[in-house]
Amino acid sequence: MAFDLKHEDVAAAGDEAESVHEALLWRDNGWTAKVVKNEEDDGWAVAMTRDGESEPALVGPWTMGRDKKNPKPLDVNAFNVLVKTASEVLRRAEQHRHALLNKNVTVSGEDGTVTVALEIVPDEYEPYAVLSARDAFGEELASVRVRPDFKLNSASASAWVEGGFTKPR
């Protein structure tokens, strides 16, 4: 969906802390909703941007007004629904990112169950991962730095535990 939203508009909106309650621009509680013309058709779109962010967290279609030409004005109820929806989009994106960067496997060791975790640190210049092991009580048994492409699965976790937590190759 193409729309006419300039990055300066979003950045400027995020810089101001004051509330704005206009027909096509609503700023409150750390969020800005801006209704913009959809360039692909005769419709309208709304962009939800969290204060301090340069890109919208959510862009979606916006309802036409009664004249079927202009957009319906923003109001407090619509704004609150948009904030809730945009917040949920960000929360799900963060959960997805966390799942991509973190994994754990529970295996049996000599002294009981061991939870082996892999946390990838996506550093721009030198990404790496930390492989750690915790016992059933949550006490850390070992922690080593490994390559970010280390494959954690039941077999690799068991081998690491059985090998005395020596750094995997």
- For residue range 142-161, what is the model confidence (pLDDT) as tens digits? 999 999 999 999 999 999 99
Q: Work out the pLDDT band at 15, boundaries 50, 70, 90.
A: very low
Of 20, 27, 59, residue with least CA distance to 43: 59
- Give the global pTM: 0.69
Residues 78-91 have pLDDT tens digits of 999 999 999 999 99
pLDDT at 109: 79
**pLDDT over threshold 80, residue 164:** yes
Each domain of the chain, given as residue ranges in start order, spans: 7-74, 101-162
pLDDT at 154: 96
Reported for 162-169, long-range contacts at CB under 8 A and 24+ positions apart, including other chains, are: 162/109, 165/133, 165/141, 168/131, 168/144
Q: Does the structure show a pLDDT above 90 at 14?
A: no
CB atoms within 10 A of CB 48: 23
pLDDT on residue 49:
97
Mean pLDDT across 50-58? 95
